[in-house]
Each structure stands twice: as structure tokens, then as C-alpha cells.
Structure 1
């Protein structure tokens, strides 16, 4: 399903503000690695936002994700303070691990193996 213009605008605002919030709260650096917002997808009604997190050299991404979920209320409070004049209601934040980089790395390995066989 295609995202509407308003969905894209709200997602861009949320992504920008969430990146700043993660840096301010010290969530960008965790477990010896770096965490960043890969993307934000928002439902058409603007009530739910899926936040995809990219983990770079984080020892245990699952425990890091749980730590972020435990601080979700704090993140949402900060976000509400930033976007209160732009949105009527603050969307419910759901955090997910973005595995795009792992997928790309896996595909590159497969292509290298195929190339070696030829």
C-alpha cells in the first residue's frame, strides 16, 4: 500500500526528532555499538508508528531493543514536547530491528560464492 503525502511528512518529522532524542538520551550508543533510526512507517490514521532501528556493532541487539522499549514512555514524552504543535495526537511507538543491512551482507556473500564457482 502506498503511503500518502501526510504519512510521509509525519514519518519524516518523527524520524528527525527521534534521532535527536536518541542522541540526547544516550540511546544512540549502547553495548559498544551504535543505534540509529533506519526508518519510520506510520499508519494512515497517524495513530501508530513503526520505528525501525539499525544496530551497528551492538553486542546483543535484542537486549538493546528491550532496553529501548523500557524507555519508550520517556521517548514518547520527549517526542510529544517536540511535535505538540504539529500533530493532534502522538502516535503509539513500536520499535523493531531493521535487518536490511544483514540481508544486504548475506546477498553479497551469496554473490561472491556464485562468482567463485564460475
Structure 2
């Protein structure tokens, strides 16, 4: 069985709110991050926030994740204010690798097509 509509709405709203909160942060690296997706657990108590990493190298990604972990309480409280929910999901931040995988697959298909 899939996720409830309530959880899907929560994901959608968080996907709108989190970029707004990040854009107000003091650190330029965090301010510039784009949210690719938000995936909540089935009960909606946890949410994984997938970020775009196109312009960050590995060490910058680690630094950004560390800063986001430190700012998680602030981000969650801002999301709580914006939504008016009783409780906001526990946020976990990670960088999205899907774009890289898609690009590699396209390169492979192009190589195959040329042969």
C-alpha cells in the first residue's frame, strides 16, 4: 500500500517551505541549495530532504550537510511556523545522486547507439 494523501501533502508542503527557509540562512552555500525532493516515512514522522549538488565538490557537500544538521532545529521550527502543524517531521538532509546516474545511463546509451 502507498503513502496516505496526508503524508503526500506533507511532502509537497515541505518541498515548498524548506527552500524558502534555506534561502534565508546566513551561509551562502546553504542559501544556494535546491531541494530536489522530500520523501516522508509512511507515518510522516521523518522526512528525507534530497538536495541538488551540481556545483558543490565532495568536501563542500560534507560541510553543507554538517551545517544543515546543526541548523535542523531552526529549519524545523520555521517549517512548523509556516505550516501551523502540531509537529513537523524529523528532517534528514542528503544529496541526490539520481541526476548523475541518469547522465551516466544516457552516456552509455549514446555509446551503444554509436556502435
Query: Normalised by the shorter chain, which TM-score bucket?
Result: 0.7 to 0.9
The unaligned stretches of length 5 or more in structure 2 are none
The unaligned stretches of length 5 or more in structure 1 are none
1:25-49 superposed Cα distances (whole Å, 9 cap, x missing partner): 156x518x94211111112322111
Superposition misfits of 4+ residues, deviation over 4 angstroms: none
Instruction: Give aligned pairs, total.
Output: 113
Once the two structures are superposed, the pairs formed by residues 32-111 of structure 1 within 5 Å of their partners are: 34-59=32-57, 60-84=60-84, 87-111=85-109
What TM-score results when the alignment is normalised by the length of structure 1?
0.83
What TM-score results when the alignment is normalised by the length of structure 2?
0.85
* C-alpha separation in 2, matches of 1:103 and 1:58: 17
Q: Is the 8 A contact 1:34 1:56 kept in 2?
A: no
C-alpha RMSD of the superposition: 2.1
User: Which structure dedicates a bigger proportion of its chain to helix?
Assistant: 2
User: Which structure dedicates a bigger proportion of its chain to strand?
Assistant: 1
Deviation of residue 108 (structure 1)?
1.3
